[in-house]
C-alpha cells in the first residue's frame, strides 16, 4: 500500500503552494500522492497547514500555485459540491435543525435519490455506526461520541471514494477516542475507501494509518508508514515530534562505512548511524529512543556502546519505570524500562552505566 508512483495515485498534490495574505506561504511546495484505499494521516503541530491542505482538497480553499488531481483529473476548477468527497468536520457540523435521519438523507436528497432508496441507505449507514435507533433525534440530543458517529455515517452515506476527516476525535475523552479510532479504522477498511485524516495526536496517527505525513512549517517533513516513522526518523523535528526522544548534541568527527563517529559536547566519543549528516565537522543531534537504552549491564547486546550516567529521578508508572538521568551534560535524558522481575529500581544519586546499539542511535541535523 505504500509509496505509489505518481501514475496510479488516487489523490495527487503537485507542487502546491498556498498563501492567505500574499505575504507568507502557509503551504510550501507540497508534493503528495495518496493511493486508492489508503489511510493517510496528516500529523503536525498547530498551524502547520494541515487543515489548509484538507480544505484545498475539499475545494473550500484554492491553491495559490500548483495542481491537485483526483483520480487523474485536475480538480482546481471543480466546485466543492461536485467533487464527491465526504468530509467529517472537527465540530461534526451536524445540521441542528434536522433530525439525524434528515441529516443523513440530505446528501442523498440533493442527488435526487428516490425516497425508498434514500431510507434504505440511511438505515444501512446508521446501522453501520450502531446508531440505528437514533434516527428521529436531533443532534443536540446526542452525546459527543454519538454525534461523531453520525457525522461519520453522513460523510459515508453517499458512498464517496475519498473521505476527509479533520481532527474528528478532538472533542472526545481518551477512552471514547480510542474506541472511535478503532471503529473508524474498521469501517474504512471494510468499505475500502481512501481516507485523509488530520490529527495532532501522534498515537492516533501511529495506530490508524497506513502512512503518516508529518507536517511542519508548511512542509512535509517525512512521509512513511508508522513503524518507519518511529524507528527511522529522517530529521530531528520528526524524531522530537513522534514519540519520546533523547537528544545529545555534538560534532561529527568522521564518517566511515555507514558509521559516524560523534564527539559529544562533553568530549565523549560515540558511534552513530548517520542519517542526515554528510561530512566531518558538522554539528549534529544524536537521537536515541528511551526504550532502546539499557541500564542493566547483564542485558547489554554485544557491540553496544556504554556511557556513564547519574540517576536524577525515578518514576514508577505501573507497567514501566521511567528514569531520568544526566548523560553527557543533558539532564533530560529519559530511560524507559519494562517492569520485569529482574529490573532494579534506581535511587536518585546513583552512578550507573548505560548502553545502546550504535544502530539505534541516529545522527540527525542540528
Positions touching Mg ion (CB under 5 A) are: 51
Rounded CA separation 92/198 (Å): 14
Task: Compute the least distance from the CB of residue 344 to another protein, in Å.
Answer: 54
Alpha-carbon Rg for the chain in angstroms? 25
Here the contacts of 139-145 (C-beta below 8 Å, separation 24 or greater) are 139/92, 139/94, 139/95, 139/96, 139/100, 139/103, 140/96, 142/100, 144/171, 144/172, 144/176, 145/172, 145/176, 145/179, 145/180
Smaller CB distance to Mg ion: residue 20 or 299?
Answer: 20
Closer to another protein by CB, 163 or 212: give it: 163
Name the phi and psi angles at 169, rounded to 5: -105, 10
185: region left, alpha or beta (phi > 0 left; psi from -120 to 50 alpha):
alpha
Least distance to another protein, CB of residue 97, Å: 5
Which 318-357 positions form the footprint of ligand ATP (CB under 6 A)?
none
String of DSSP letters for 234-284: SSHHHHHHSS--EEEEEEEEEEETTEEEEEETTS-EEEEEESS--STT-EE
Tell me the closest approach of the beta carbon of residue 28 to ligand ATP, in angstroms.
Answer: 11
What minimum distance in Å lies between the beta carbon of 47 and Mg ion? Answer: 8
Considering only residues 69, 123, 200, 305, which one is a binding residue for ligand ATP as defined by CB under 6 A?
200
Choosing from 11, 26, 187, 270, the residue that interacts with ligand ATP (CB under 6 A) is: 26
Give the one entry of ligand ATP, Mg ion, another protein, none that residue 96 binds, where binding means its C-beta sits below a cut-off of 5 to 8 angstroms depending on kind. another protein
CB-nearer residue toward Mg ion: 51 or 216: 51
Report d(CA 277, CA 9) in Å as an integer: 32
- Check residue 80 and report its DSSP letter: G
x/- track of binding to ligand ATP for residues 45-64 (CB under 6 A): -xxxxxxx------------
* Shorter beta-carbon distance to Mg ion: residue 51 or 284: 51
Contact of residue 80 among another protein, Mg ion, ligand ATP, none (CB under 5-8 Å per partner type)? another protein
| Binding positions for another protein, rule: CB under 8 A | 58-60, 79-87, 89-91, 93, 95-97, 106-107, 110-111, 154-155, 158
Kindly state the cell numbers that stand for 48: 502547520
CB of 114 to ligand ATP, least distance (A): 39
Q: The C-alpha cell of 289 is what?
A: 529512543
**Residue 154 interacts with, from ligand ATP, another protein, Mg ion, none (CB under 5-8 Å by kind):** another protein
What are the grid coordinates assigned to 3, written together?
509509496
Find which of another protein, ligand ATP, Mg ion, none residue 110 binds, CB within 5 to 8 Å per kind: another protein
CB of 294 to ligand ATP, least distance (A): 36
Stretch that binds ligand ATP, among 4-12, 41-49, 107-115, 294-302 (CB under 6 A): 41-49
- Kindly state the cell numbers that stand for 149: 458517529
Cell of 132: 440505528
Q: Which residues pair with 182 in a beta bridge?
A: none
Strand, coil or helix: 124: helix
From CA 291, how far away is CA 87, in angstroms rounded? 38
Residues that bind ligand ATP (CB under 6 A): 20, 26, 44, 46-52, 200
Amino acid at each position: 500500500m505504500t509509496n505509489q508512483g505518481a501514475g496510479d495515485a488516487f489523490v495527487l498534490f503537485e507542487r502546491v503552494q498556498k498563501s492567505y495574505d500574499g505575504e507568507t506561504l502557509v503551504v510550501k511546495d507540497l508534493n503528495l500522492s495518496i493511493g486508492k484505499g489508503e489511510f493517510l494521516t496528516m500529523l503536525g503541530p498547530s498551524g502547520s497547514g494541515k487543515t489548509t491542505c484538507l480544505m484545498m482538497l475539499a475545494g473550500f480553499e484554492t491553491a495559490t500555485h500548483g495542481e491537485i488531481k483526483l483520480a487523474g483529473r485536475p480538480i482546481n476548477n471543480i466546485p466543492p459540491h461536485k467533487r464527491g468527497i465526504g468530509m467529517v468536520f472537527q465540530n461534526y457540523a451536524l445540521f441542528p435543525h434536522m433530525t439525524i435521519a434528515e441529516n443523513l438523507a440530505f446528501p442523498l436528497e440533493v442527488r435526487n435519490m428516490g425516497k425508498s432508496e434514500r431510507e434504505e441507505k440511511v438505515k444501512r449507514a446508521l446501522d453501520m455506526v450502531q446508531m440505528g435507533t437514533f434516527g428521529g433525534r436531533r443532534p443536540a440530543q446526542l452525546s459527543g461520541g454519538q454525534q461523531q458517529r453520525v457525522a461519520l455515517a453522513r460523510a459515508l452515506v453517499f458512498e464517496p471514494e475519498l473521505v476527509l476527516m479533520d481532527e474528528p476525535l478532538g472533542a472526545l475523552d481518551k477512552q471514547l477516542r480510542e474506541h472511535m479510532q478503532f471503529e473508524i479504522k474498521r469501517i474504512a477498511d471494510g468499505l475500502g475507501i481512501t481516507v485523509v485524516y488530520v490529527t495532532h495526536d501522534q498515537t492516533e496517527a501511529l495506530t490508524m494509518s497506513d502512512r503518516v505525513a508529518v507536517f511542519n512549517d508548511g512542509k512535509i517533513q517525512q512521509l512513511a508508514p508508522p513503524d518507519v516513522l518511529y524507528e527511522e526518523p529522517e530529521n530531528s523535528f520528526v524524531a522530537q515530534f513522534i514519540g519520546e526522544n533523547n537528544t545529545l548534541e555534538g560534532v561529527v568527527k568522521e564518517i566511515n562505512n555507514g558509521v559516524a563517529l560523534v564527539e559529544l559536547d562533553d568530549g565523549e566519543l560515540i558511534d552513530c548511524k548517520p542519517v542526515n549528516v554528510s561530512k566531518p565537522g558538522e554539528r549534529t543531534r544524536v537521537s536515541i529512543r528511551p526504550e532502546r537504552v539499557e541500564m542493566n549491564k547483564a542485558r547489554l547486546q554485544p557491540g553496544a556502546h556504554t556511557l556513564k550516567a547519574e540517576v536524577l529521578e525515578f518514576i514508577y508508572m505501573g507497567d514501566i519505570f521511567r528514569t531520568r538521568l544526566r548523560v553527557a551534560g543533558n539532564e533530560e535524558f529519559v530511560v524507559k524500562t519494562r517492569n520485569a522481575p529482574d529490573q532494579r529500581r534506581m535511587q536518585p544519586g546513583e552512578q550507573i552505566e548505560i548502553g545502546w546499539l550504535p544502530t539505534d542511535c541516529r545522527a540527525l541535523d542540528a
